[in-house]
Structure 1
């Protein structure tokens, strides 16, 4: 498994645990979490249940009341637990109307303890309807609660304890649903930012190679045609053209090597600045040292650390769903000698154990070439990638 794959799986696990109002849960974990979340609120139905058990109603009233309560809870769960995107607003409004009628009939027939059902009507309105509807249905359910309470013996005394929860609970569901929608949009925006950054880098390299090779290859083609026309009548002139072709080819090779070297050997200073920019653009709080005090590093060791930093930050932006990322870079003394350690920690999804793969092996090989080592995996509250390279001189000599 590559680092990218590990972060993808971590992101999927995190998504499974996200309780989304008005949407069907995906996966076992999300189903369990959402069931527990909804089950907590169903505890407030203890008043109607207690009234059925000890309210002094006849057997027929108890049986009809239990049946009505079960039907009400079923309607409520359909609206809150399952997906409602497939349902037209009219179907949701019809369901809410059925619930309101059930709440009214049960309250009038069995007593004031059943007025709490209107609170669930208001909450279901906020959870299942778009804001343009719920801003009217939540107050409407609350008003219906107040009207019904005046017709139920002793119901007015319950109004203070029910009107406020109905209004706050209904509009709280509206706010939570909007917050979740915004969170999903932010994650999509992060993925878009990462894709745009990758595309821009590919375009930059393509432009550089085109600018470097376009002129040289055109000149080589032209001189090859000239050399072909000069043979066999003018071998000396043809030889001169061949010599020019060799010269142009060598220069083009040097230019390409320099371009590719600049692309494949980033510096720590540039990558630290780029990491802060990328994380900030993705909406992740970045703690990145832009000018760390370090001993002088060999070019190959610095390049390996810079590549590790680029790869780690890219994974954070694209896959972690993190809110904060901390980059640490410093020298330390170990039993094996002095070394420089780079660490990238985020508070996103950790995922399972990381198995060696193409991406991870690539970084491991770069570090191994300079005597370094790499470790990556989930930690408490997030994910950490650490890269270490040895120093050729004792600590403090160049600090």
Structure 2
């Protein structure tokens, strides 16, 4: 699994994608469950209709109006999470909800005044910020005007209406910021990929341009020498072989450098992967790797990738801590990676292919691997030679 595939897989398992439409029925249900608790304010209208205090015709009309009000409210708020209505449609539907709340409260009684809460929430969630402020204020005034006709009007409900409306404007701003950050991250990733392609193209040109030009020139010379001077042509062919071999070595070294994982990049990827999987992550910033051999850094980066993959896929953990330390041991100065979680540690059927391969990789780099369960979860410790012994700053 690549470092790009892991975060994408984790995101696919998240409960709610902020600011995006649901991709399947399960995500639609999760978003709907997030909305349904707000329907608690409909309890009073429902009790009013079921109490038998209205004629049958009025009760039937009340049920129809209540279902219509609830359907319009859910359609506005639910669609606003992904594919919102047009601005004009939103304005018309908000006015419709406000009008219906006023009519029902005046005709059916004080029990229906809670409908203004949903009008306020809809204003904050769907209207532009400035329009939402005005709409929430007007909705609150309308509720006060209707409520003053009742001696038992609860003024605290005004505070609820105002605060919920403005809270929804804040939620909408947060969703908008999240969407913008997601787009910005995608743009940065695309720019980074383009820059990497350009760098690869430049490096390949620098590596192969001279070699291929020399091979072409010597091939032409060998072709001209073949009829009368085969010994000279053979020398040119030998030179071509030597240049080709050197070019192949250069390309392999370049490709190896591109494919070698870096510990700093893996630490950043681990933070993203763990967070996306809903795991509380404590990951250090970029460590000081001055003087650490590339082979050691690469082996430790592979160890971190494998450990995080296991935590996300198999552990069921809710917390994961990553540490990178330099220690002076009996085997010399070592760079140590420790990954500890509070999960189950997997199936418990012995080390898998990932840990076995990781052990072999670390041994080739002169390092070691320790992995096993602890009282609170699972811990993996990988050590590789740091390449030097600093005078200060090493761990115990």
Matched, 1:108 2:106: yes
Given that residues 345 and 385 in structure 1 are in contact (C-alpha distance below 8 angstroms), is that contact kept between their aligned partners in structure 2? yes
Change (3 A) 1:209 1:146: same
**Which runs of 5 or more residues in structure 1 are unaligned?**
315-323, 347-351, 354-358, 392-398
1:160-209 C-alpha deviation (Å, 9 max, x unpaired): 22322222212211211221122233233334333433443343233222
Q: Distance in 2 between matches of 1:17 and 1:344?
A: 28
Question: Is 1:64 equivalent to 2:57 in the alignment?
Answer: no
1:339–1:388 CA contact under 8 A, matched in 2: no
Of structures 1 and 2, the one scoring higher in RCO (CA 8 A, sep 6+) is: 1
Q: Which residue of 2 aligns with 1:47?
A: 44
Other structure's SS at 2:323 match: strand
**Other-structure match for 2:24:** 27
Contact 2:76 2:84 in 1 (8 A): no
Q: Which residue of 1 aligns with 2:137?
A: 139
Give secondary structure in 2 for the equivalent of 1:81: helix
Distance apart, 1:3 and its partner CA: 6.5
Deviation, 1:59, is 4.5
Residue 130 of structure 1 aligns with which residue? 128
Q: Normalization by structure 1: what TM-score?
A: 0.69
**Whole-angstrom distance in 2 between the partners of 1:19 and 1:273:** 28
Match of 1:119 among 109, 117, 126: 117
Tell me if the contact between 1:52 and 1:66 (Cα under 8 Å) persists in the aligned partners.
yes
1:92–1:129 contact (8 Å) kept in structure 2: yes
Query: C-alpha separation between the residues in 2 aligned to 1:176 and 1:18?
Result: 14
* Structure 2 counterpart SS, 1:342: strand
Report the Cα offset of residue 131 of structure 1.
Answer: 2.9
Q: Deviations over 1:306-358 (max 9, x none)?
A: 455589999xxxxxxxxx9964235899xxxx996535689xxxxx99xxxxx
The yes-or-no answer on 1:234 pairing with 2:229 is: yes
Q: Secondary structure at the match of 2:337?
A: strand
Which whole-Å deviations, capped at 9, do the CAs of 1:228-279 have from their partners, x for residues lacking one? Answer: 212232344434433443443344344334434444456xxxx345557889
Q: Secondary structure at the match of 2:113?
A: helix
Q: Which residue of 2 aligns with 1:9?
A: 9
CA drift at 1:225: 0.8
Check the 8 A contact 2:303/2:382 in 1, yes or no: no
Equivalents in 2 of 1:247, 1:279: separation in Å?
44
- Counterparts in 2 of 1:311-350, with a 5 A limit? 327-330=322-325, 342=337
Distance 1:299 1:2 in 2: 20
Shift in alpha-carbon separation, 1:61–1:247, aligned structure 2, 3 A? closer
Which segments of 5 or more consecutive residues in structure 2 lack a partner in the other structure?
276-280, 310-318, 348-353, 386-393
Q: Are the equivalent residues in 2 in contact too, given 1:19–1:30 (CA < 8 A)?
A: no
* Deviation, structure 1 residue 368: 7.5
What TM-score does the superposition give when structure 2 sets the normalisation length?
Answer: 0.70
CA shift at 1:297, angstroms? Answer: 8.1
**What is the rounded CA distance, in whole Å, between the counterparts of 2:187 and 2:305 in structure 1?**
17
Which whole-Å CA distance do the structure 2 matches of 1:374 and 1:17 have between them?
36
- Residue 2 (structure 1) shift: 6.4
Cα distance change, pair 90–345 in 1 and its aligned pair in 2 (3 A): farther
Structure 1 pair 386–217 and aligned structure 2 pair: CA distance change class (3 A): farther
**Deviations for 1:354-382, whole angstroms, at most 9, x for unmatched residues?**
xxxxx99997875576686799xxxx99x
Structure 1 CA distance for aligned equivalents of residues 269 and 190 of structure 2:
12
The structure-2 alpha-carbon separation of the partners of 1:30 and 1:343, relative to structure 1 and needing over 3 Å to count, comes to farther
From 158, 162, 181, the counterpart of 1:163:
158
In 2: Cα distance, 1:205 partner to 1:313 partner: 29
Is the Cα contact below 8 Å between 1:312 and 1:385 reproduced in 2?
Answer: no
2:72 aligned residue: 75
2:150 aligned counterpart, secondary structure? coil
The aligned length equals: 363
In the superposition, relative to structure 1, how do residues 303 and 18 fare at CA in structure 2: closer, same or farther (>3 Å)?
closer
Pairing 1:96–2:94 present: yes
Give 1:288's match in structure 2, choosing from 268, 285, 290. 285
Q: Given the superposition, is the C-alpha separation of residues 93 and 362 from structure 1 closer, same or farther in structure 2, using an over 3 Å criterion?
A: farther
Aligned counterpart, 1:216: 211
Q: Give the corresponding residue for 2:150.
A: 153
Asked if residue 38 in structure 1 is aligned to residue 35 in structure 2, the reply is yes
Structure 2 CA distance for aligned equivalents of residues 5 and 275 of structure 1: 13
1:345 and 1:199, CA in 2 relative to 1: closer, same or farther beyond 3 A?
farther
